[in-house]
Amino acid sequence: MMPRSEAEESNAQNNKHGVNRNNNNNNNNNAIRTTGFLNTPHEGTKLEFARGEQQRGRDVLLARLGFATPLFFTATLLSFVLYWGALLFPPFAVFFICAFISYGWFKGILYSFSALFIGVPRAHLYKTADWKQLGNDSRKKSPLLERTLGVSEEDGKPLGMAHPSSLGSVKEDYDTSATVSKQRRNMDIPTWTSKLDNKEKRTLAEKFNDLRHVVIVPTYREPLNVLRKTLNTLVAQTCAKGKVIVVIATEKNDKEAIEKVEALIEEYSKNLLGLFYTVHEKISPAETDGKSSNVAWCARCVQHTILEKWNYVPEQILVTVCDADTYFDEQFCECLSYTHAQNMEPYNCTYQSAENEFPNIWMVPTLVRVKAVVDSINMLGMLSSKYAVPYPYVCYSQSLRTIMDVNGWDVDVVPDDFHHFMKCFFKKDGHFRLVPIFMLTGNNAQEHTNWFSAMRSRYRRAKRDAWGAIDLSYILSQWYQKRNVLDKHGAFMLFVDVIEHHVSWSSYFLTVMLGGMMSAWLNPELETYPFGIGIRAMALIAFGPILFATWAYIVCDFYVRMFLVQDRKYFEANSAPLWWQITSQVQWLLMPLADFIFAAVAALDAQLHMALWPKMSGYRVSKTVDRSNLEYKIAQRHIMPNGTWRNEPFLNNANINTNGGGSAMKSSSSNGLYHAIESDGSDARSERGRNHGRGL
């Protein structure tokens, strides 16, 4: 084993970028770098393309047909609902419209109530558990098993990973005595190669403590202050100094990236096992600008350093990919290690935390806020329900062995998370799933210096997310190539689920709002269907139950903000006055408009774009507001979980620059709740100097 004790770290030698540690894994005195620039890819890796670096003839035709598939399904559905269905098949049109509306509110109720009654309790247990103690003492009762999943424990010995039916993509029973016995027999089977210590069997504590974490942070022109916040939450990990390696993945086109990274290395390297950076440059013209190609290059460089220089084995490394503004729970890495060590199939899964956009929820326009709340609760609900099929989103984790098995990320795609999951699914012949981690991981909602810019930024992000529909062609091509070895039922259900997701995304609002009205106008006979009620009245009746689900969203929203993230660093979820948090719930009346803009219009835009020109050129990263140059005038009092008030500045987790001259007052919120004073560049530099060496 390569030692990672603090005693050895105290013997480290400083060099230009950081610290050198002894590599006792080879029993020699050769020093290895733990900070600096990584530019050498692993020799066994190469660029991976989803559709091939060069396509010709039939491949191009099939690909273009696949790109047009989402638009074809959406256009067929909408034209049927809005026009020809009412003229040609009146009874069926009525039935379909009502059924489609009912299906929508069923999903809303499923996600909201799964989040309320399953996701929130599990998130609370995950927050209060001592994951380091659980990983080192198998006699401790896991909060994951009996209390949340109903799996019994005997003799104080955990059974292992959560039963598959709770994971969303594997439907099996787990409570038979034969299955329990099998799981117990497999408890001590090593989950990675025995080369680590030549043992045939490994205990939970040995597996737990042998794991190391590599966190890849892609960045492109992000403010230094934003990167500091993310690094602060990683440095705050309970195992940061002994187990966490951070790699900041930069782009060559970002001229200021190196200066920012060097400042971060100087500030944070002593508190992490390693802190590196990579610089991605296009090697092939077929590469697409974006997170996927950047992460692909970074992972190849990490493989070289981790495997060849540090002499770890791939099975020992857990790789987490996040955004530049991701805020982790301080026990995230320990929880991930524990889950992975107990997993019976650790190399056939992706780990997904409960992503949410609560950190700056009161700093964004109302339309952006209501959509952010719904998306956050839906994510928690999808991870909780065994009837949902969640996909990785923003921040996800995998074993390095899994990444090497599939040859890393494809470089010609935009949605890295969704596409990479699809790639793993087919590379593993359909034996791949998503494992939920009920740790709340925060990302900023789209915020900007004015209302219009924030709305535009949120729309661009919605379009990028909807661009995942382009992978329908990838699914079809992979199914055809692996048709002899692939689980046909699983692949078919995957295709149906992706079609349903993207088609309903783009067409549900128009069906609900316009389907009944347009159909009745084209064919007045439909007013006699069904049962003489009339299609428009029936549509309203079918749409009514969604109001029931709204209450679950509201309760989840308040509980998460008041009790789960109230003490989290950089979460300002309760910064607005209590009276405003209550009265602002009228925002739910704007949910149809938010859904129309950020779902229907954005998805139709993306599908039309990919059908006509299937390359998302001019990739634009969502702008992140640098709070170090802003002074917010709202909410001089904080609301505590017990309902009391605490007088303090609004940004309790950030240093605020108030010394700038020549400031200009601007309104930067749609509801007028706050104003921003933008300081000049000299103030930004002085703020950086004051925070240098200690983080924000």
Reply yes or no: is the peptide bond before residue 285 cis, omega within 30 of 0.
no
Q: What is the pLDDT of residues 161-174, one digit of tens each?
A: 333 333 223 223 33
Q: What angle do CA 319, 265, 320 make, to 5 degrees?
A: 10
Neighbouring C-beta atoms of residue 132, cutoff 10 Å: 18
**How many Å apart are CA 111 and CA 176, to the nearest integer?**
28
Tokens representing 368 are 């952006």
Cα separation values, 558 from 152, 525, 551, 561, 565, Å = 32, 46, 11, 5, 10
Q: What whole-number distance in Å separates Cα of residue 179 and Cα of residue 166?
A: 16
**Could you tell me the two tokens for 10?**
């105290």
Q: Of 261, 306, 307, 308, nearest to 280 (Cα)?
A: 261
- Residue 234 contacts residue 246 (beta carbons within 8 Å): yes
**pLDDT digits over 289-325, tens only?**
889 999 999 999 999 999 888 989 999 999 999 999 9
Please give the helix or strand (H or E) that residue 274 lies within, else none.
strand 274-280
**Any idea what the Cα angle at residue 145 is, between residues 553 and 331, rounded to 5°?**
70
List of the chain residues with pLDDT < 50: 1-30, 54, 56-57, 146-191, 194, 196-199, 618, 629-696
Tokens linked to 46? 């190469």
> pLDDT at position 231, please?
98
pLDDT, residue 198, reads 45
Residue 28, CA atoms < 13 Å, CB-side half-sphere: 7
* CA proximity to 332, closest of 242, 438, 229: 438
Task: Tell me the residue type at 46.
Answer: K
Q: How many CB atoms within 10 Å of residue 519?
A: 28
Task: Give the chain's mean pLDDT.
Answer: 75
Model pTM?
Answer: 0.79
> Other C-beta atoms within 10 Å of 525: how many?
13
Spatial separation of the C-alpha atoms in residues 284 and 251, rounded to whole Å: 15
Give the residues across from 676 on adjacent strands: 666
Tokens of 66: 């696949």
Distance of CA 44 to the CA centre of its chain: 28
Radius of gyration of the chain measured on its C-alpha atoms: 26
Least Cα distance to 468 among 403, 412, 416 occurs for 416
Amino acid in position 471: D
Q: Tokens standing for 273?
A: 């096992």
Backbone phi, psi, residue 102, to 5° = -65, -40
What whole-number distance in Å separates Cα of residue 440 and Cα of residue 353?
A: 6
Pairing of the two strands 212-218 and 317-321: parallel
Question: In terms of DSSP H, where are the helices of 544-618?
Answer: 546-559, 578-583, 591-595, 602-612
Q: What is the pLDDT of residue 29?
A: 33
Please enumerate in sequence order all residues whose Cβ is within 8 A of that of 104, keeping only pairs 6 or more positions apart, or say none: 504, 508, 512, 546
Burial (CB count within 10 angstroms: exposed 0-12, middle 13-18, buried 19+), residue 653:
middle
SS3 annotation, 352-409: EEEEECCCCHHHCCHHHHHHHHHHHHHHHHHHHCCCCCCCCCCCEEEEHHHHHHCCCC
Residue among 600, 655, 537, 432 at smallest CA distance from 98: 537
Centre a 10 Å sphere on the Cβ of residue 570 and count the other Cβ atoms it contains. Answer: 22
Q: Which two tokens stand for residue 248?
A: 């900041």
Class of 33-46+190-456 in CATH: alpha beta
Contacts of 687 (CB under 8 A, 6+ apart): 225, 628, 629, 655, 657
Say how many CA atoms lie within 13 Å of 262 toward its Cβ.
Answer: 7
Enumerate the domain spans of the chain: 1-32, 33-46+190-456, 59-126+503-612, 627-691
d(CA 530, CA 517): 15
E strand or H helix at 497:
helix 488-510
Note the pLDDT of residue 542: 64
C-alpha span between 675 and 633 (Å, rounded): 6
Residue 664 host element (H or E): strand 664-667
Phi, then psi, of 523 in degrees rounded to 5: -140, 95
Beta-bridge partner residues of 13: 20
Task: Give residue 357's pLDDT.
Answer: 95
| CB 135 within 8 Å of CB 159 | no
